[in-house]
């Protein structure tokens, strides 16, 4: 293994969008704004932001559907978005430093906006250990679309067989597996540490050895056969989390 590619929210960083509105509105208004059953609610427009929609475009479209009063709530969300990044997920700063010290290359692959990634970097200095981050809003494509994984692979020169992708959503891990990457579904830092450090390298083809010429006796006798090397599979676990 040479590279570890990690999701942001729910893996590297603790992102809580509701914190942007805490103290600004009654809880009932906050619950209404984040209603997951609203087909044109926060989740819908957050996904469009992740695909590159500007704040202005989101607010304009949201106001057309919900009216100016409710659109003002979204405006306040944008203005206070710095509050949403709580910090690193427990244990992940230590794990990043440990993996970096072992010579592994570390990368990010996130359904997020550039603005949010910048906020996360300011709030979480250990994210500087990442050699780079592929951000969906800059690519106009998001996980689990295989295209965003291909771009990361090409941009960072990843060898699929020696690359581990970590995400907290099964469909995102499955997309990486479909491209020949290794994949792990995140639960917590300690579980991830044990699974990453327990990986063995994939088998390499043994070098072919020519048989000695019949006219030249071999001083060491017949060549012994080389036993195959096996590569144990890595188990996956599950835990739902907002897509990031």
Token output for 214: 């019949």
Q: What pLDDT sits at residue 204? A: 52
Q: How far is CA 71 from the centre of its chain?
A: 30
Map residue 22 onto helix, strand or coil: strand
Residues 182, 64 share a domain: no
Give domain status of residue 230, yes or no. no
Inside any domain, residue 97: yes
The tokens for 230 are 């096996």
In a domain, 180, yes or no: yes
pLDDT digits (tens, 9 = 90+) for 211-243: 444 444 444 444 343 343 334 344 433 334 456
Identify whether 133 is part of a domain: yes
Reported pTM: 0.82
User: How many residues does this entry show for the chain?
Assistant: 244
How many domains, the chain? Answer: 2
Q: Which of 63, 79, 95 is the last residue of a domain?
A: 79
> What CATH number does residue 153 fall under?
3.40.50.1000
**237 domain-assigned:** no
Residues 150 and 29 grouped into a single domain: no
Of 58, 79, 100, the last residue of a domain is 79
Question: Phi/psi at 51 (nearest 5 deg)?
Answer: -95, 5
Q: In this model, does residue 190 exceed pLDDT 70?
A: yes
pLDDT digits (tens, 9 = 90+) for 76-94: 999 999 999 999 999 999 9
Neighbours of 23 (CB within 10 A): 9
The verdict on residue 102 lying in a domain is: yes
**Residue 113, domain member (yes or no):** yes
Within a domain: residue 178?
A: yes
Q: Is the pLDDT of residue 39 over 60?
A: yes
pLDDT in tens, 193-209: 999 999 866 555 444 43
Domain containing residue 131:
3-14+87-197
């Amino acid at each position: 293994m040479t590279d570890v590619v990690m999701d942001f929210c729910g893996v590297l960083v603790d992102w809580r969008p509701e914190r942007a509105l805490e103290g600004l509105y009654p809880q009932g208004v906050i619950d209404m704004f984040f209603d997951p059953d609203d087909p044109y609610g926060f989740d819908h427009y957050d996904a469009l932001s992740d695909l590159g929609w500007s704040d202005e475009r989101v607010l304009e479209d949201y106001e057309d559907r919900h009216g100016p009063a409710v659109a003002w709530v979204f405006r306040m969300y944008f203005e206070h978005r710095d509050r949403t990044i709580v910090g690193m997920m427990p244990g992940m700063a230590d794990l990043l430093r440990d993996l970096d010290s072992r010579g592994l290359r570390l990368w990010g692959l996130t359904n997020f906006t550039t603005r949010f990634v910048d906020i996360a970097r300011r709030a979480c200095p250990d994210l500087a250990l990442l050699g780079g981050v592929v951000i969906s809003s800059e690519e106009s494509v998001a996980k689990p679309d295989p295209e965003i994984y291909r771009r990361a692979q090409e941009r960072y020169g990843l060898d699929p067989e020696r690359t581990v992708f970590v995400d907290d959503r099964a469909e995102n891990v499955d997309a990486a597996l479909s491209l020949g990457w290794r994949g792990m579904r995140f639960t917590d830092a300690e579980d991830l540490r044990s699974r990453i450090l327990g990986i063995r390298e994939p088998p390499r083809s043994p070098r072919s050895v020519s048989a000695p010429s019949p006219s030249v006796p071999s001083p060491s006798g017949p060549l012994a056969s080389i036993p195959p090397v096996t590569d144990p599979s890595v188990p996956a676990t599950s835990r739902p989390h907002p897509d990031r």
